[in-house]
Structure formats: structure tokens, C-alpha cells
A and B are shown apart, each in its own frame.
Chain A
């Protein structure tokens, strides 16, 4: 019997994580074993706990450990704004910026006929319900500027037409960005959305 079988299996599992390959997985596992008390045991405990408790918020699709996430549960976030994002990672990116004070709606993907992902596979019907029931004044569509992202944005806009104010994020020059490095489409968008200073 191979005495390192479990460790090898752990390395193989870790190597499946995004951003890790076999080499970095071996380093990570070795590091965890060396820091058994400080890292490995607490990590194992937490993973076990999260495996049981992690769930999607029934309201917005955010990931948390209760049926309704902290953002949806907070009265302070109920300012009538909903920001629609494709994925939880996008929600976290928005939260890192710390500017948006409303609530979110995570679609869980984008419409794609070729991949057989339709409106009912996303949380679009739920979004329509929320706009009707939560006294929403504005829906901000923060979807990716890809064909699928924009198709989804147009679809939602069509569904919510006339029920609330609909906006999308601006497109243009990133903060700290240099014009020379921008593609033609971004420069065109930035120029069209220019503002007086």
C-alpha cells in the first residue's frame, strides 16, 4: 500500500483548482502539512463546515451561509437599486470597489442558444419578480461587453421595459489607462460617451 496515497490524492485535487497546476499544488500541500496546526487543520475544519453551510441566496443568487445573504438581509442596502451581474465573482468585484450601496442580482451565466442556456436557466424570472415586489427604482445592468453578455442585457431590458429605470455601466478609458493601449472599439465608446469637465 502506498503510504503517500492520500497526500497524492490531495495534490491531484488541489491541482484542479483555478490558478493552480500540479507544481503549485505540490508546493501548497507541502506548505499546509508543514503548517499543520496553523493552516491545515483550520482549513480542513472550515472546508467541512462550508461544504455543509454554503448556499445560494434565495433572493439574489449571491453565495453565503444562510438562505438570504447579508446584502439582501441588510435594510441599509434596500435603496431601490439592483445591480445585475453574471457571476458571483462579478458581485465580489463590485463589492471590492465599495461604491455601490444597493442590492445585487446574480444571473448565474448568460443567454447562449448554442450552449442551450435559456432564460429559465438564469435567474431572469426572479429578477422580474423582484422588480415588481421590492419597490425598485433602477436596475443597473453590469454585464460583460461580449455578444452573450449584451444579448442578455438586451433580453432583460426587453423584459423590464417600462417597469423601472434601466441603466448600464459606462464603457471607456480605464482609470490609469493609456489611450495608446486601447482597442478601437473602446476608444470609439469613450469618445461617444465624452463629458464636459
Chain B
């Protein structure tokens, strides 16, 4: 068994799955079947074993099977380093998501301490050309994988910023109230900025030290138009200075929520956004693998990898190289594809799950190569 792996995954009334069970053994899991069969729903289920809203960034209510909408439940047995945890994630109809670890209620952030989950989904294929929000979320997931407490700082920052935005919109002019919120934004914001920079250093090191078939990406954190002050005191002062402009805009215009991630295809010195579709995908795969390698060293185990339609845009050589790197890393990668033949080179190194759909219900059938 890999040192971080799900050995059992059960889905109940989750998306297209009424009841599904997959027993895994630590090898990569290949999920194949026609479009719309429910493959990505299983990846989404695994993604919920980490804090956050999962790989579709969906609300808990949206994950319920329709038309019943009874609420849903995921159960998993997670092997994490030398421990085995039973994890239940449930959502009652109309309620919030509840996490139980070893039969005890736990906050979502507690999942971040025992599990690391990284994913690559087709919607990220346009990551380098679309808006900065997607790239920030991508960077924050990488950062959280190294520093789970990054989630706490992000929550605190967002809360204080929403409060400040409310004051700005309501044209409140109490400087003490602003300063109280700005102090908190500055403290959390400085932590967020430092965590992100540290994550990029980790990633750069993992890329430098690796022998990989995938291209190296040079990453730069762009701090937005106004830059990001180095210390929390400077940031606090900058927020105070910016109040009139923020009030005119009705929102906070500076801070880590305005940052962007800029990637360059290092060998060609070309910005990622100007690369071909295949090259952009290869850069993403490269970053995910670098993140996984860094985590294997940092956390003590490679993360769970969720690679949705990963074969798309990759030629046969790169696919082979990807599978080789995943097995060499010893990561439990959950991969989807429409055809089993896309995964031929994996052979016995992976286990296979055929997903089909009959009358709106996903069917799951496990088998070996």
C-alpha cells in the first residue's frame, strides 16, 4: 500500500452514483468509460477528502443525486503515513458538509493534516489564458498542500476583507473600524503572501532536481498593480492610504486577493499563455508532478493525484512518461479516460474500473489489466 492512499471508497447518492464501492490497493486507479458515465464524479468524491469545495468547486447541495436530492455520503479508508483513518463526509438535504474522522466530528481543515490531494481537470487547460482567479486558486491549492494552515489565513483574510468591503460600500467613514479590519487583513495577508512565495520556492527546487520528460515552468508571483508590501505593517499602511480609492470602487483594490501567477515555458522563454495547447497541458502536468515530488519529501508521502482526461492533448510518448513518473513516485493516481487503451502502457501497475451509465445510474465494475 502506498503511504498515502484510499483503500476503500464508497459513494452513496453522490452525483450520478446511487451506491458505488471501489476497493483499491495503492496502485493507480484507471477509471474508463463513455462520456457522462460518472468518472469525474468519482474524482470529485476523492477531491473532497481534502479541505475546500472539491475539484468542481461546487456547493454541497449540487453534489446530491437527482431527482431524489436526499443528501449524500462518502466513506473512505485512508492510509496516511503509518495510520489508517476512517473518514465519512456527509451532507444532509439542504445542510452543510460534515466531516467525521475515525468516528469523531472534525473540521474540514483537519483533512488537510492527514491527506494531500492534487488534481488536474480539463477546465484547467485554459488556466494560463483565462482570468487570474483560477491561477490564484491553483497556487493556493499548491500552497495548502505544503502548508495546511494557509487555509486558516485565507479564511481570516477573506472574512476581514468582506467586512471592509461592506464598510466601503456603505460609505462608512469610521477610521478606527477600518484600521481594526485592515490590521487583520494585513496580518493574514502577509502570511498568505509568504506562504505562496515559499510554495513557489519548493516547486522550483522540485523542478530543478527532477529528471522529467515534462518541460520546466518558471513561476512568478505578480502582486497586482500596486505591488504587495513586504511586511504586515507596510501592508496595513498601504490599505489605509488606499481607502479613498477603495471607497470609490466599493471594494479592496490591493492585497493578495489581487495577485496573479505568471508562468514561463523555461526552455523556450515563452509565456505559458502563448504556448500551444499541448505545451500548456505539459506545463500543468509538470507542475503537478513537481508538487507531488516536493510533497513526497515534505509530507513523507506522495499526494493522491486526480487526473481527469489527462491523456487529452498528450502524445503517446508524454503519456508513457507521465505513467512512468507516477509509478516511480508511488502515488495513488486516480485517472480517467474514455478508452482503456489510453492506459495500455500501465499494464498490471494499475487497477481498472469500468464506469457505465444505465438509465441515469452509474455502474462501477472493477477488474485487473
Contacts and interface: CB of A to CB of B under 8 A. Distances in A.
B12 to A, nearest CB: 27
B152 A147 contact: no
A154 B163 contact: no
Nearest to B165: A113
A162 B160 CA distance: 25
B148 A184 contact: yes
Nearest to B167: A113
A119 B174 contact: yes
A171 interface: no
Contacts of A150: 184
Nearest to B109: A183
A155 B176 contact: yes
Contacts of A151: 160, 163, 177, 180-181, 184
Nearest to B149: A184
A62 interface: no
B164 interface: yes
Interface residues of A, number: 20
A154 B180 contact: yes
A114 interface: yes
Contacts of B166: 113-114
Q: Which of A119, A153, A155, A188 has the most CB of B within 10 A?
A: A155
Interface in B101-157: 109, 148-149, 152, 156
B184 A154 contact: yes
B68 interface: no
Contact of B162 (A114, A119, A184, A185): A114
B177 A119 contact: yes
Nearest to B155: A147
B208 interface: no
Given A113-B170, A150-B184, A184-B149, A118 B177 contact: yes
Contacts of A118: 172, 174, 177
**Range of interface residues on chain B?**
20 to 34
B149 A152 contact: no
Interface string A145-187: 0011011111100110000000000000000000000011100
A155 B178 CA distance: 8
A168 to B, nearest CB: 13
18 contacts: A111-B180, A113-B164, A118-B177, A147-B156, A147-B160, A147-B163, A148-B159, A153-B180, A154-B180, A155-B176, A155-B177, A155-B179, A155-B180, A158-B180, A159-B176, A183-B109, A184-B152, A185-B149
B163 A112 contact: yes
Interface string B168-193: 00101010110111011000000000
Nearest to A159: B176
Given A159-B176, A184-B148, A114 B163 contact: yes
Contacts of B180: 111, 151-155, 158
B176 A147 contact: no
Contacts of B149: 184-185, 188
A191 B152 CA distance: 18
A128 to B, nearest CB: 11
A191 B356 CA distance: 54
Given A114-B166, A155-B180, 19 more contacts: A111-B177, A113-B164, A113-B166, A113-B170, A113-B172, A118-B174, A118-B177, A148-B163, A151-B160, A151-B180, A152-B180, A154-B179, A154-B183, A155-B176, A158-B179, A183-B109, A184-B152, A185-B152, A188-B149
Contacts of B164: 113
Contacts of A154: 179-181, 183-184
A112 B159 CA distance: 10
Nearest to A185: B152
Contacts of A159: 176
A153 B166 CA distance: 19
A147 B170 contact: no
Contact of A147 (B109, B159, B167, B177): B159
Interface string B293-314: 0000000000000000000000
Contact of A113 (B148, B163, B176): B163
Contacts of B170: 113
Contacts of B174: 118-119
A158 B240 CA distance: 14
A103 B176 CA distance: 25
Interface in A114-163: 114, 118-119, 147-148, 150-155, 158-159
A112 B162 CA distance: 10
Nearest to A120: B174
Interface string A50-89: 0000000000000000000000000000000000000000
A143 to B, nearest CB: 11
